[in-house]
Amino acid sequence: MFGTMRREPDAAGVRTIHRDRSVAEAAQLLAQPGTGALVVVEGDADATVTGLLTQRDIFRAVAAEGPEVYSRSVWLITDHDFPAVDVGASAQERLKTFCERKVDHIALMESCRISAILSIWDCAGEARAATNPPALPHT
């Protein structure tokens, strides 16, 4: 869909983890406030994106394979075919992607670079604001 993906160097709030790090390390990062998903990368300076990892991915892996999954590399449980939408997509288009893919997080893309990771709650708030503009003050 977007070709070889990279993380935007100045993408605020986009947390990354190298594909060879452990699932336990990923769980520690995901436990930090404001972190719902990690962009999994390989390489160093201009890291190539290999997938997206969420808390849900870890929960499912532990449920299926047991706690030994925590010692494995994150790439083994990473969603390599993660949903992504163009930065110009409307809030409704973004919500449609969430519903069609049945996921909690999507990548917001600008060209072939991830500029943000959005949660379904981010998009629900945007869609609500777009359909319910603030009331005018009474005078």
Give 111-120 pLDDT, tens digit per residue.
888 888 888 8
Distance, CA of 128 to CA of 70 (rounded, Å): 38
CATH topology of domain 13-81: CBS-domain (3.10.580)
| Domain range summary for the chain, segments of one domain joined by + | 13-81, 83-132
8 Å CB contact between 42 and 18: yes
Nearest to 51 by CA among 67, 73, 29: 73
Does this chain's domain 13-81 share its CATH topology with 83-132?
yes
Would you tell me which CATH number, out of the four given (3.90.1150.10, 3.40.50.300, 3.40.50.40, 3.10.580.10), belongs to the domain 83-132? Answer: 3.10.580.10
Instruction: Write the pLDDT tens digit of every residue in 121-135.
Output: 777 666 666 666 666
Residues 6 or more apart in contact with residue 82 via CB below 8 angstroms: 51, 52, 103, 105, 106, 107
The rounded percent of the chain whose pLDDT value lies above 70 is 78
Instruction: Please report the pLDDT score of residue 137 as a whole number.
Output: 64
Residue type for position 127: A
pLDDT tier for residue 14 given thresholds of 50, 70 and 90: confident
- What is the spatial order of strands in the sheet that 6-7 belongs to? 16-18, 37-42, 48-54, 6-7, 113-119, 105-110, 84-86
Identify any residues that bridge with 113 across adjacent strands, giving them in sequence order.
6, 110
Comparing CA positions, the residue from 112, 40, 44, 37 lying closest to residue 78 is 40
